[in-house]
Chains A and B, each alone.
Chain A
């Protein structure tokens, strides 16, 4: 088994556009994507015909239909025909495929997009359908219940406290006040949050993500193309993703081995590690997931966590991870960070984790 770390390091994000996350969006995913894709075309000034590859992430099960990504293709105006692919996963994995594609050197620009409308179904039930169909899904464990198992494991291991979760929820909502795309925002007193009843013990409503609809698009290019477009690049210095076993019973739920490995592999490519960033955007849907990830990635006190408000403030499933990459990009573009980390996850209880290390053009 071998990983090759000596890779080109000049793939850059040059544009990012998202639709505000809301509890129930009336537009279709394709309509939201028209706005997102037009956003990155305008920001970068690229012509559609210059885009060498297009790749997206979405999930049929959110809509409850089949081949739903085919309708999303409409938003790309795929005529003449385009070179295009799709992952049944969060858009962060589409971003990864786009990064791999750019390493070949035969094309210079990739359009990445993702969409998801969790409001179309019962999210609690839908998100239980990705469990092992023979031994787990049949137990009827819903999304907050298996998250509760992991939260309890964190409590039992002494790695988190309910009062800390309320603090994290409060911080997320406060940060979301300055993010026009966030959904759950406000000044709240953590002590007040702790008076809520349990939703699924030990999780209270404030420690759970909202149901969100959104879409986002991103343009990634080579450094040369970014220069031609005249846009300021944010470099993808390292990216990696890893999986843990599926079954809750065979792993220690209070740690994330896959996030740790992904962080190390990304760092080996980047030449700097998760601990060296100014900002980390983590796709932590629950405060206890944030604590697990901070531990696994070795994020110190100097790292500002989720300035966008993170997934507790808006959790459009299948878009949440790509939004983290986009918000990390925004943090560098706005000057509030020189280096940033973006994280995405997939599967129950943080089963898969992706870590992306970004650096500003002057880095």
Chain B
């Protein structure tokens, strides 16, 4: 890339089921002002604004970034709106990083959000038609197929949920904080879409995530540690056609291979210190471990069961508590990218992985067909 890009600051809202204490603009400013403060910057220092969210009908506003221009300090600046289904929070960060790495701008504010309480997202996720089963209904068959193909024990999913929910207790911004959980309690929670139980599923959240990205000059001038963007990649494939493998999508495999190549990673299992990836339902942890080349085919569940993905494991995964604990859909991808940056900056607080210097942020969407990833590091090369 022509220019180096780094995360100078990050911020997020306190995520809740309903944030009726703030307007949409107020909610976004909560995240953005935290990010600007972290970056030691003011609104006037921002060259461009890149916004992302999932479908507009979720809140009932067409292209809401137009109305948000004033609140996001966008007057007189370029404003770009990205939408790539569930991966959007990730791809929005990628688009924003390209404004830096191309050399077009020095400092860019990127923000993603959803205020799910304003509408009915299960209706929206069913294509705006009634009678749908939402994302869980769409993905359950793939999870079941994975379980059957891999022979993973039933409690793999419970183990993932237990880990992510414990991690969320360490994250002051997480939405669901469920203390004193057990595998048994997760198993006993209502079955939503076989094989997925309620406590193995993501919540519906209101929230926003924001990052300030800068070029090398801006990064070197910053007094705090930055996260250097070592690689970005997006991939898409058709959602339905004969022969497609929706359990282990090729687009995800290609996207990971591309971003590892850019970051100079030859053995991701060894080289990455931690991974924050988009796991909206428990079984997606072992599935993505394989898709991300972190485990051999049908063996991802072993890493989960051996404790490798625990916060104190060899390859911590979803240190923040993940999508299982916090799911403002449009922001969910950016929260993954943000968490990866916080880890390599060493600012993740109680959910910090000791000495993390190279991390992967991951997001996916559509019919498991849209992927966005970045690798960030504490060093530029």
Contact = CB atoms under 8 A, between A and B. Distances in A.
Interface of A: 1-4, 6-7, 59-61, 64-67, 69-70, 73-74, 77-89, 93, 96-97, 100-101, 103-106, 126-127, 129-134, 136-137, 240-247, 250, 257-258, 261, 346-348, 351-352
A78 B104 contact: no
A347 B66 contact: yes
A100 B63 contact: no
Interface in B22-81: 23-24, 44-47, 55-64, 66-70, 74-81
Contact of A352 (B2, B56, B79, B82): B79
A346 B128 contact: no
Nearest to A74: B238
Contact of B105 (A4, A245, A347): A4
Contacts of B310: none
A348 B69 CA distance: 12
B314 interface: no
A78 B237 contact: yes
Contact of B82 (A74, A87, A127): A87
B56 A61 contact: yes
A67 B366 contact: yes
B204 to A, nearest CB: 15
16 contacts: A60-B56, A61-B57, A65-B57, A65-B129, A66-B124, A74-B238, A81-B236, A86-B84, A88-B83, A89-B81, A100-B98, A104-B102, A243-B76, A258-B76, A347-B66, A352-B69
Contacts of A78: 236-238
A103 B82 contact: no
Given A78-B237, A81-B237, A104-B101, A247 B70 contact: yes
Contacts of B103: 4, 6-7, 103
Contacts of B237: 78-82
Interface string B285-319: 00000000000000000000000000000000000
B209 interface: no
B55 A104 contact: no
B359 interface: no
Nearest to B235: A81
Nearest to A130: B62
B175 to A, nearest CB: 22
A104 B1 contact: yes
Interface of chain A: mostly helix, strand, loop or mixed: loop
Contacts of B99: 100
Contacts of A130: 61-64, 66-67
Contacts of A73: 236, 238-239
Contacts of B80: 87, 89, 93, 96-97
Contacts of A351: 66, 69
Contacts of B63: 59, 61, 88-89, 130, 346-347
B150 interface: no
- Which of B82, B94, B236 counts the most chain A CB atoms within 10 A? B236
B234 interface: yes
Given A85-B95, A346-B63, A66 B104 contact: no
A14 B319 CA distance: 47
A131 B67 contact: yes
B233 interface: yes
A97 B78 CA distance: 12
A77 B94 CA distance: 23
Give the interface size class of chain B.
35 or more
A242 B62 contact: no
A99 to B, nearest CB: 9
Given A60-B57, A81-B251, A100-B99, A86 B24 contact: no
B55 A67 contact: yes
B127 interface: yes
Contacts of A80: 237, 250, 254
B111 interface: no
A34 to B, nearest CB: 13
B238 A86 contact: no
B263 to A, nearest CB: 14
A86 B104 CA distance: 20
A207 B14 CA distance: 48
Given A85-B84, A87-B81, A133-B24, A3 B47 contact: yes
B235 A243 contact: no
B106 interface: yes
- Which of B60, B64, B238, B249 counts the most chain A CB atoms within 10 A? B238
Nearest to B128: A65
Contacts of A348: 66
A136 B66 CA distance: 12
B210 interface: no
Given A65-B127, A81-B235, A242 B77 contact: yes
Interface in B100-120: 101-107
Contact of A133 (B61, B91, B98, B251): B61
Nearest to A1: B47
Going nearest first, the 7 A-B pairs with the smallest beta carbon separation are A81-B251, A66-B55, A103-B102, A61-B62, A81-B237, A84-B236, A88-B83
A73 B59 CA distance: 24
Contact of B104 (A4, A77, A84, A89): A4
B82 A88 contact: yes
Nearest to B52: A88
A261 B107 CA distance: 18
- Which of A4, A101, A241 counts the most chain B CB atoms within 10 A? A4
A192 B94 CA distance: 53
Interface string B134-158: 0000000000000000000000000
B323 interface: no
B55 A60 contact: yes
Given A80-B254, A83-B233, A129 B83 contact: no
Interface in B346-379: 366-367, 369
B366 A257 contact: no
Contacts of B81: 87-89, 93
A27 B102 CA distance: 38
B126 to A, nearest CB: 8
A67 B127 CA distance: 7
Contacts of B78: 240-243
Interface in B230-287: 233-239, 241, 244, 249-251, 254-255, 258
A251 B84 CA distance: 32
A97 B128 contact: no
Contacts of A245: 69-70, 75
